[in-house]
Structure 1
Amino acid sequence: MPLLLTAILLGIVEGLTEFLPVSSTGHLILASELLGYKAETWATFNVIIQLGAILAVIVLYWRTFWAVATGVFKGEATSFRFIANLLLAFVPSVVLGLIFIDRIEALLGNAVVVAVALVLGGVAILVIEALVKAPEEAPGVAAVPWRKALGIGLLQCLAMIPGVSRSGATIMGALALGVERRTAAEFSFFLAVPTMLGATTLEVVKNHDELTSGHVDWGLVGVGFVVSFLVAIVVIRWFVGLISRRGFAPFAWYRIVAGSVALVWLLAR
């Protein structure tokens, strides 16, 4: 497959799946199996183009980020609570990520783990949707109690298993902790910013020599970045509206079907 087409397809996959509870990392791993390219060759590419999806959050919610930034300078308590909640939720992934980095990287090459995690995650979403009745009022990220913010951060760490889904773990974890749907989704969006920036920074530090050796095709990286940004813009707008009307069950059934099909295909090869 031409490199440009591969870059475009991976950008589409990243933009489509980063903020949906279906696992962007898992889909990128399965894409490598389906399309037949070498996953290790595109590992750094996949991490960097996540910044395109993160930029989509910043662009769509720039008013929120601006209000928080100006509020800090004005000494507004709401802005400090917003930042404190995101930091509390971010810290567990930093600590556990550094401790288990070798084991995490070993799992990234296992497509079967991804398929199984997709199915189990889909079942978990259906269970949470059926049993948990989140409040209707949307208080906002700053109003989430600090213990719940920390709990969301701990649950985000489940996404270190490829196929679990970072957004799925944070959103469904927030719902299980009693956070309203829209607030749970937006908390996940905002938490993605420091989490993905941290992951990209770690990847850049680890692969510094490769990135500065001239072997990286920055043109392809740029294509993937732009594609993931544009697709993520559309997905985020659509996603918030959908969950307000339909909940998360459609994504659960997609995970179960996609994971089952992938597992059968992987085991039958």
Structure 2
Amino acid sequence: MFSLWVALVIGIVEGLTEFLPVSSTGHMILVGHMIGFTGEKAETFEVVIQLGAILAVAVIYWKRVLRLFGYNDREARAKPRRINLLHIALAIVPALGLAFVLRDYIKLLFMPETVVIGLVAGGIFMIIGEKRQPTVTVRDMDDLSYRQALFVGIAQCLSLWPGFSRSGSTIAAGMLAGASRAAAADFTFLIAIPVMCAATGYELLKSIGSMTADDLGFLAAGFIVSFVVALIAVATFIKLVGKLSLTYFSYYRFALAAVVLVYMYTAGF
């Protein structure tokens, strides 16, 4: 049985980084290698506990989620045009489809070396999103077109490379499509819910037969820690991502990549 302190550490890392465009998966992989938490079960754990953080988003966005299924509150009636399930499908199907086809190869990328590449490449893409953003035509995610949603969905495929960052790729893509940073961030967090539910469900179905009661308890501990930490952090982080330039997060990513490289060639992973 993995010790509970490992579940605590990884859960905290996930809860703090899921809502920032810095790659929560990349951070979990790096921390996992530092503390000796690697292997197939570690990879499953890292995917499953992300659902805990994503459920924190569902708590914040519960009205938005219900509106997708016909919930008609006062705000929805005042703004008839809003995103629907087709927008969500266009934004998630490309990445989910590609992940299913390449699932066996993606797991091979869960290592520090590939995370460093993803951190740098993702940071560059985010800077491009900031510097090349056209005139903003969408200031609220409810005004996104189907074409813009599909563009975000295609860009989300980049996040299959660990370290690239799902939120970083989709926020930058939304900005390149003409959305404001805040609108792109809102849409990013909303589409994270079905993406992570699908990824977690697949991992559990694939691995449940080989898991023991201790393994399930370990997963549950990480899930709960991730959810609680994320719930505390989510409101602040969502506002931060909506207002702060992606360039600052890119600088952090470059600095982290440099630190990891130094560590790899001195202490060794």
TM-score normalised over the length of structure 2: 0.89
Report Cα offsets for 1:198-248 as digits up to 9, x if no partner. Answer: 11111112113113xx25433322221121112212332112322344322
Q: 1:266 aligns with which of 235, 241, 264?
A: 264
Match of 1:217, SS state, is helix
Give the counterpart letter for 1:129 in structure 2.
E
Match of 2:179, SS state, is coil
List, as ranges, runs of 4+ consecutive aligned residues in structure 1 with deviation greater than 6 Å: 74-77
Report Cα offsets for 1:58-105 as digits up to 9, x if no partner. Answer: 111112223333348x99995874221011111101221122112111
Q: 2:219 aligns with which of 218, 221, 232?
A: 221
In 2, Cα distance between the equivalents of 1:234 and 1:144?
A: 29
Give the counterpart letter for 2:87 in structure 1.
N
Give the counterpart letter for 1:125 in structure 2.
M
In 2, Cα distance between the equivalents of 1:75 and 1:204?
A: 39
In 2, Cα distance between the equivalents of 1:134 and 1:205?
A: 44
> For residue 27 of structure 2, what is the aligned residue in structure 1?
27
Q: 1:241 aligns with which of 219, 239, 252?
A: 239
In 2, Cα distance between the equivalents of 1:15 and 1:243?
A: 15
Does 2:42 match 1:42? yes
> For residue 209 of structure 2, what is the aligned residue in structure 1?
209
Using a 3 Å threshold, how does the CA distance of structure 1 residues 244 and 89 change in structure 2: closer, same or farther?
A: closer
Does 2:87 match 1:85? yes
Is 124-133 or 179-188 further displaced after alignment?
124-133
Give the counterpart letter for 1:84 in structure 2.
L
Does 2:146 match 1:156? no
Match of 1:69, SS state, is coil
- CA shift, 1:145, in A, is 0.8
> For residue 138 of structure 1, what is the aligned residue in structure 2?
139
Using a 3 Å threshold, how does the CA distance of structure 1 residues 249 and 69 change in structure 2: closer, same or farther?
A: same
Does 2:171 match 1:166? no
Give the counterpart letter for 2:197 in structure 1.
L
Retained in 1: the 8 A contact 2:16–2:229? yes
Give the counterpart letter for 1:70 in structure 2.
G
Retained in 2: the 8 A contact 1:119–1:260? no
Using a 3 Å threshold, how does the CA distance of structure 1 residues 78 and 40 change in structure 2: closer, same or farther?
A: farther
Retained in 2: the 8 A contact 1:68–1:79? no
> For residue 189 of structure 1, what is the aligned residue in structure 2?
189
In 1, Cα distance between the equivalents of 2:42 and 2:99?
A: 21
- CA shift, 1:171, in A, is 0.7
> For residue 104 of structure 1, what is the aligned residue in structure 2?
106
In 1, Cα distance between the equivalents of 2:77 and 2:54?
A: 27
Retained in 2: the 8 A contact 1:18–1:24? yes
Retained in 1: the 8 A contact 2:155–2:169? yes
In 1, Cα distance between the equivalents of 2:170 and 2:113?
A: 23
In 1, Cα distance between the equivalents of 2:68 and 2:128?
A: 35
Retained in 1: the 8 A contact 2:185–2:242? no
In 1, Cα distance between the equivalents of 2:36 and 2:215?
A: 20
In 2, Cα distance between the equivalents of 1:239 and 1:95?
A: 29
In 2, Cα distance between the equivalents of 1:55 and 1:37?
A: 24
Is 237-246 or 168-177 further displaced after alignment?
237-246
Retained in 2: the 8 A contact 1:69–1:79? no
Count of paired positions: 265
In 2, Cα distance between the equivalents of 1:134 and 1:115?
A: 32
Retained in 2: the 8 A contact 1:81–1:143? yes
- CA shift, 1:8, in A, is 0.4
Gaps of 5+ in 2: none
> For residue 123 of structure 1, what is the aligned residue in structure 2?
124
Give the counterpart letter for 2:9 in structure 1.
L
Gaps of 5+ in 1: none
In 2, Cα distance between the equivalents of 1:136 and 1:177?
A: 9
In 2, Cα distance between the equivalents of 1:97 and 1:172?
A: 20
Retained in 1: the 8 A contact 2:54–2:192? yes
Retained in 2: the 8 A contact 1:26–1:163? yes
